[in-house]
Amino acid sequence: MIVLGSSPFCASPAAPPDVAGHTIELFDSNHGRRIPARMYHPGPRRPLALVLPGVGARPGDYSSIAGYLAKKGFAVAELQLELPGDPPIPNAADVAALRRPELTVNVESVRYFVSKVRELRYANTNSPAVLVGHSNGGDVAMLYGSQHPSQVRAIFSLDNLRVPIPRVSRPHICSIRSNNQKADKGVVPSPAQARAFNMRIEQTRIRHEDMWNAASEREQKLITAALDSCLSDK
């Protein structure tokens, strides 16, 4: 099931990037779950990039990153993973273990969305996707990449805190770290591991909660520069 927030998509690869985006909603009947999203410059020849948000975010909250990816030539989908009525996300005790069921649901939503994007020709999904995730969305990206590595070209994490970054060289993994949150033990690879697997792990002075549209202009430039470097790696 698909609900469009505007007219059906008909963008061609040569069309100017749609940096404003169009709202859509898919419904995964197997899991009884809505998947709201905002699509930026869809087209059947454009590679897919997924933007996976942090807790409490809505489609449009990461439009600065999504618009940048659209200008780089991607068909971009900014997903809403957290829905009204979902149980509160735990923030005490063993947070990683308590969040695992919610993360599993989110991974299934991403898997369903990617399969439908292929079917509806909103993007060229014959080539692996790029995943960009902030905080909880970064955890979802890491889990999805671990389970479906052949479907992912690169993962760019904005300070994921709970799910360990896979120690692999494919998909290519990059992460920028905040100046005010500490990841759980074992999440971030050591400098030696990062070198061994050709990862980019960059410490920044950006606050964890500002790694979306709330970032300053200078911080936005740092984020997009790091993302560009990640995408440029061979």
Tracing tokens 């984020």 back to the chain, one arrives at 223
Residue 5 has pLDDT above 90, yes or no: no
Q: What is the rounded distance in angstroms from the CA atom of residue 213 to the CA atom of residue 131? A: 18
* Long-range contacts of residues 212-221, Cβ cutoff 8 Å, at least 24 apart: 212/53, 212/54, 212/57, 212/61, 212/62, 212/64, 212/65, 212/134, 212/158, 213/61, 213/62, 213/63, 213/64, 215/64, 220/64
Q: In the chain, what are the domains? A: 2-232 (3.40.50.1820)
Q: In DSSP terms, which residues pair with 23 in a beta bridge? A: 38
User: Which stretches of 53-201 are DSSP H helices?
Assistant: 63-71, 95-120, 136-147, 191-196
- The pLDDT of residue 93 is 60
In single-letter form, the type of residue at position 179 comes to: N
* Percent above pLDDT 90 for the chain: 73
Q: In DSSP terms, which residues pair with 38 in a beta bridge? A: 23, 78
- What φ, ψ does residue 221 adopt, rounded to 5°? -65, -40
Which residue in 172, 167, 118, 127 sits closest to 151, CA to CA?
127
Per-residue pLDDT of 97-148, as tens digits, reads 878 888 999 999 999 999 998 888 899 878 899 999 999 999 999 999 999 9
- The pLDDT of residue 11 is 36
Q: In DSSP terms, which residues pair with 137 in a beta bridge? A: none
Per-residue pLDDT of 167-210, as tens digits, reads 999 999 999 999 999 999 999 999 999 999 999 999 999 999 99
Band (pLDDT 50/70/90 cuts) for residue 9 is very low
Contact 35, 26 (CB under 8 A): yes
